[in-house]
Amino acid sequence: MALKTFIEAIRDTMFEEMRRDESVIVLGEDVGKKGGVFLATDGLWAEFGDDRVIDTPLTESLIVGASIGAAVNGLRPLAEIQFADFIFPAFNQILSEAARMRYRSNNGFGVPMTIRAPYGGGVHGALYHSQSVEAFFTHIPGLKVVIPSTPYDAKGLLRSSIRDDDPVLFFEHKKMYRSVRGDVPDTDYTVPLGRAAITHPGTRMTVVAYGLMAHYALEAADIVAEEGISVEVVDLRTLRPLDKETLLNSVRKTGKCLVAYEDNRFGGYGAEIAAIVAEEAFDYLDGPVTRIAGPDVPGVPYNHVLEDWFMVNPEKIADGIRRLAAY
């Protein structure tokens, strides 16, 4: 067991999986000698060389398209998109090829590839380095979408993603890379895809979150606990497939549900959570399913004051908890 930062857990996993399985390759922009813009792949090129750690042109459609071809032909590519904001040139490759390959080939071909991408705001990254893009991909059958919140989960979920026989999008909140630390076992453990975690038990309300928002939800739960409001926090960890059992069991126990997510409110991932709870746990609810999310503006502003206005934080979640608890 060792104390690791979020990004150290991710880097360690890539080293270990590449040593374990020669079919695992890494490709992306500046992932080689430079080690990536966040140094997530630092040291991989020195150990594994050009054949397995491949610097690509600044062409996301090529990164994903080449990964799909490699995956169909027996490799396990681990593709890095430098920022999730830049993933859209590869959207057609992900949607039309990777996600549908198994279906359209009548189960003849899988696409065992993982796409890593840092997402999220609060780092003064402005319009093109702060987006939350997960909702676009959770809509597509055939894709798995993973967003860990702790170093332990990051390592276990990334290992499961690399070993999975279908395409996985693995989003990492960039604000957590060096600010979040936690104990990580030295063993070859995995965290199963499609399993949520109850990180804070409670009785009066369920707060659903993932990624950085899972940390903020825990902070908000501690704030309102001093006011006598008992909150249960569900960290989804995997957005697709969704662990509906854990989600619905929690809501049926508490009777109220608040969803916190950083993306624009309208059409965000939290809207799907709200719909599922309303449809499948309606008889247990004693208040409206509530969302705390980013405003419906085109992007995260650069100005610090406006960035803070956009971002969800523990205080905003706590205020939402208070309003829903008083309903």
Residues with catalytic function: 129
Instruction: Kindly report the number of other CB atoms within 10 A of residue 305's CB atom.
Output: 7
Q: Are strands 181-184 and 2-5 parallel, antiparallel or unpaired?
A: antiparallel
Rounded to an integer, what distance in angstroms lies between the CA atom of residue 263 and that of residue 292?
10
Measured in degrees and rounded to the nearest 5, phi and psi for residue 81 equal -95, 120
- Closest by Cα among 214, 184, 186 to 4: 184
- Closest by Cα among 133, 172, 137 to 154: 172
Length in residues, the chain: 327
